[in-house]
Amino acid sequence: MARATLVCIALSLLAFASAKGDEPVTEQLALEFRELTVPQEKLPADCHLRKVDRVESAFLPADTNPWITTDKASIAFIRVFIDPPVTRERMPQDEAQHKRWFEERAKGVEAAYVAIYEEPGAPEIGVYAVKYAVPIGDLQRRSLNKNSVLLTDKIAAVVWSDGDSKKGYNAVLSYLREIAKGHNEED
């Protein structure tokens, strides 16, 4: 995603943040997302879940790692990476349009999940996931980012890395694909 687009998204989040409407994370949501956290034994020896009280991010107000949220602004931001807008229209330029755009991106999503891992050569390896309110249909499956993993009929995730090392990235992605395969075999 282009840097200019990320800057627009960040500015939009600031405009939208005043209307968060963050609902408490239920025990059920926590259980549904818990399996997305990769067990240490599935990671390379030098890769681990970042041990911080606050995930440093200019974009997300995460206060734990992993983090689950029902905050609409955060959901909208995370969804852009998993299920990008179908059209390549320019980001709205005024604050009211930004707010509406983000409200639209948050519709139909119950919660989002973020986990940040680190290893030498890859300062951050991340997992973004969203839980849709209803099962994902065929049309929506086709709109998922090509790097997204459909874990269940309602949960989709994407793995990203901002470094050169791919060991941790590949381990996290493989783990999520195992989860997806297990859920698909249950159906």
Higher pLDDT, 146 or 114: 114
Q: What per-residue confidence (pLDDT) applies to 58? A: 53
For residue 66, whether the previous peptide bond is cis, meaning omega lies within 30 degrees of 0, is yes
**pLDDT value of position 163:** 80
Q: Which of 41-50, 66-75, 137-146, 153-162 has the lowest mean pLDDT?
A: 137-146
Q: At what angle do helices 3-16 and 72-82 cross, to 10 degrees?
A: 160
Mean pLDDT over 84-111 rounds to 75
Q: Which residue is listed with tokens 């939009």?
A: 12
> What tokens does 162 get?
């901002």
Q: Helices (H) and strands (E) in the chain — how many of each?
A: 6, 6
Residue-number span of the structural domain to which 109 is assigned: 3-186
Say how far apart CA 160 and CA 124 lie, in whole Å: 8
Q: Which two tokens stand for residue 23?
A: 């609902």
The tens digit of pLDDT for each residue in 15-72 reads: 444 344 466 777 888 888 999 999 999 999 999 998 765 555 556 777 788 989 998 8
Which residue shows structure tokens 């381990």? 171
Q: Which of 74-78, 121-125, 131-135 has the lowest mean pLDDT?
A: 121-125
Q: Return d(Cα 149, Cα 151) in angstroms, integer.
A: 6
How many domains does the chain contain in total?
1
Per-residue pLDDT reduced to its tens digit, 72-88: 888 888 888 888 766 65
- Give pLDDT, residue 13: 45
Q: Is the pLDDT of residue 11 over 50?
A: no
